[in-house]
Structure 1
Amino acid sequence: MRFKASIQNINTFTKLTASLNSLGPLAWVKLSDEQVCFTIIPEQGTQVWAVLSIDAIFETYTVQSAANNVINLEVPLTSLNRALKSALNATSAQIRLTKKDNQPLLALTIMTTSSSNSYAAFPTTGGNVNEDDLEQIPMDDGLRGNRETIITQEVPVRVLGPDTVAGLHEPQCREPDVHIILPPLMQLKSISDRFTKLALAGAKAGAGVGTSSRTRLEMAANMHGCLKMSIRTDAMSISSVWTDLNNPELDPSQVAGGEIGIAEHPSTRMKQLGSADGRSEEGWAIVRIDGRDWGKVMSVGRLGGRVIACFCHEHALILYVYLPSDNGEDESVLTV
């Protein structure tokens, strides 16, 4: 099998792995001719299914295998993110699947250019080296100009056979009762973290009361552009409400039954209830989530792009995080 690619958007790739790493230490990475998929399925907590177009991250891209040109890898996200951070100021970066001492590796090779004004980075051991093996050495006046340095970071991975991943698939969920475009996720994270800290502080002050029941956030939305985040304990009840948000129109080509399917869709019925000022108690879809887990989910906000939240009342909350692309089209999406 063979995988080799040049990275054209190192910043997005680094933010992606940092966001995923906050949700789980290991990712199943599926490389194919059509797309790149990152999946996190923790024993507890939020699942992530990220489908990226190849050109969202890579410039040149080659993948070959006996399994229909599909390669499945188990990748430690902390190590991959640390390697990518070292390439943020690189002039070029390539990543490839290789092997050393029978251990599969993702080798990230980056090229940096240093100015001769004062110092340049020279490898102390020669050849391709890890970033930690570099030292700063003053340049001689006779070496004026730019000097290129090649650094290789190696990330141990595990190759997964087709049978290992055959049973893994994105969970199926019923049609949502409410779909709404969320405010900036980092804004939501700031408020939810504050709510969670207040709840934990209240739980510690209460004798004999466990903290697990005190960190449940209630998220609610309606089809009139309203979103509500609240938390209730024996000692307090606080909430924040957003209005004038956007409920995106459904695409008949994406809904079973077309126009008839939209007319019978749960969100259409919910739109007949409630009000735009958020004061009505009708028409709200509500889910309850762990505050600390929600704070981790909100870290995907560093990727930018719009986020559509789908509320299945008293059942599930699904986020679709669309990565911004150069051509303005939503081609890559994280499903959380």
Structure 2
Amino acid sequence: MQVIDRLQKKCIIQFKPEVIRIICLGDANETGIQVWSEIKVSTLFNDYRIQSNADNIISMNIASASLLHALQGIQNALATSGTGSGLGGEEVLMKLAKKNDQALLSFALTTPTRTGRSQSLTYDVRIEVLRPLDITKINEPLCPEPDTLILLPSLPTLRSPVERLRALSSTLVVRANVGPPTKLLLEVAGDENEVRVKVEFGVKFVQTNRQGDEDEDEEAEEKDKEKLYTVPISAKSFVKFLNCHIVNGQVIAAICHRHCLILYFYIGSTGPDAGGVLTFYIPSMVDDGPI
């Protein structure tokens, strides 16, 4: 939620029997970034039950800052309860509730005090429950198969040079090849193309499909290993993404030539064993310069 809160004031959370989805739509923020996240239920919950008339799926609009505030309050309470991390027996119960006809996502926490007594804390976050019909109108972006997939350098490493490039131009051109050797180029052109600046990183090509499963991609063998696949994007959007480095984990970047940049932010390991993945879509910008 720290990541989501930095991108958008509101998000959609969808609780399903096996996974939880967090969605941010591009038309709701100035950077145009869309987020489609899927997190395994087992990553977040020990005991999970869901039931609804809509195939046991519940979807809601929620203010990112309000949910983050509740979660941080719970985290602080656990840290000061005497047992620390929340693994010593405390239980946090999250449930869908209603008070005064207002739908809520309610969190209840019981922790021991220093005197040995128990104290209860409750955080209520206002939500808007969405109808199944509302959800059918929301679709994940349709993108072509990526032309190249690379493992990005650490986000803090990228942030400083990208912020400098952003000062020169609002459009950042991202290029990468298949390799080997595989390289990532970040390039901008100053006003009237009088100055062009680029930063180059040596990176690793990733042979995975879009779902993160191992894939013996025969087409990769047939591609021109030196060709640079390119997408011009909003520099502001990329900086916004890089400011989300508070989540530890690897980021895989997929370049769909002249179409979009897709960023897969894995929770835990990559591939089928990952606890979840936050998928960021940054659309291509119209670029009149040479690509």
TM-score range, shorter chain: 0.7 to 0.9
Give the Å deviation of 1:320. 1.2
Match for 2:205: what amino acid? N
Could you list the runs of 5+ residues in structure 1 that have no partner in the other structure? 1-16, 116-144, 200-213, 275-282
Report the CA distance shift for 1:110/1:191 in structure 2 as closer, same or farther (over 3 A): farther
The aligned counterpart of 1:167 is 137
Deviation string 1:167-215 (CA, Å, 9 cap, x unpaired) is 212111111111101111222223212322x32xxxxxxxxxxxxxx31
SS at match of 1:62: coil
Instruction: Give me the whole-angstrom Cα distance separating, in 2, the residues matched to 1:20 and 1:56.
Output: 18
- The alignment covers a number of residue pairs equal to 259
Instruction: Give me the whole-angstrom Cα distance separating, in 2, the residues matched to 1:194 and 1:87.
Output: 38
The aligned counterpart of 2:7 is 23
- Please say if 1:309 is aligned against 2:253: yes
Q: Aligned match of 2:198 in 239, 245, 248?
A: 239
The aligned counterpart of 1:206 is none
Q: Aligned match of 2:51 in 43, 56, 64?
A: 64
SS at match of 2:207: coil
Report the CA distance shift for 1:218/1:69 in structure 2 as closer, same or farther (over 3 A): same
Give the Å deviation of 1:51. 0.4
The aligned counterpart of 1:322 is 266
Instruction: Give me the whole-angstrom Cα distance separating, in 1, the residues matched to 2:112 and 2:54.
Output: 39
The aligned counterpart of 2:278 is 334
Q: Is the 8 A contact 2:149 2:207 kept in 1?
A: no
- For 1:53-202, what aligned pairs fall within 5 Å after superposition? 53-89=40-76, 90=78, 91=86, 92=90, 93-115=92-114, 145-196=115-166, 198-199=167-168
Report the CA distance shift for 1:95/1:305 in structure 2 as closer, same or farther (over 3 A): same
Instruction: Give me the whole-angstrom Cα distance separating, in 2, the residues matched to 1:310 and 1:42.
Output: 18
Identity of aligned residues (%): 27
Instruction: Give me the whole-angstrom Cα distance separating, in 1, the residues matched to 2:275 and 2:71.
Output: 23
Q: Aligned match of 1:33 in 17, 21, 24?
A: 17
Instruction: Give me the whole-angstrom Cα distance separating, in 1, the residues matched to 2:259 and 2:71.
Output: 37
Give the Å deviation of 1:50. 0.2
Instruction: Give me the whole-angstrom Cα distance separating, in 2, the residues matched to 1:301 and 1:69.
Output: 33
C-alpha RMSD of the superposition: 2.5
Match for 2:142: what amino acid? Q
Structure number with greater Rg is 1
Normalised by the size of structure 1, how large is the TM-score? Answer: 0.71
Match for 1:218: what amino acid? V
Give the Å deviation of 1:26. 1.3
Match for 1:68: what amino acid? D
- Please say if 1:218 is aligned against 2:176: no
Could you list the runs of 5+ residues in structure 2 that have no partner in the other structure? 79-85, 281-291
Q: Is the 8 A contact 1:186 1:302 kept in 2?
A: no
Q: Is the 8 A contact 2:104 2:125 kept in 1?
A: yes
Give the Å deviation of 1:254. 8.4
Give the Å deviation of 1:58. 1.4
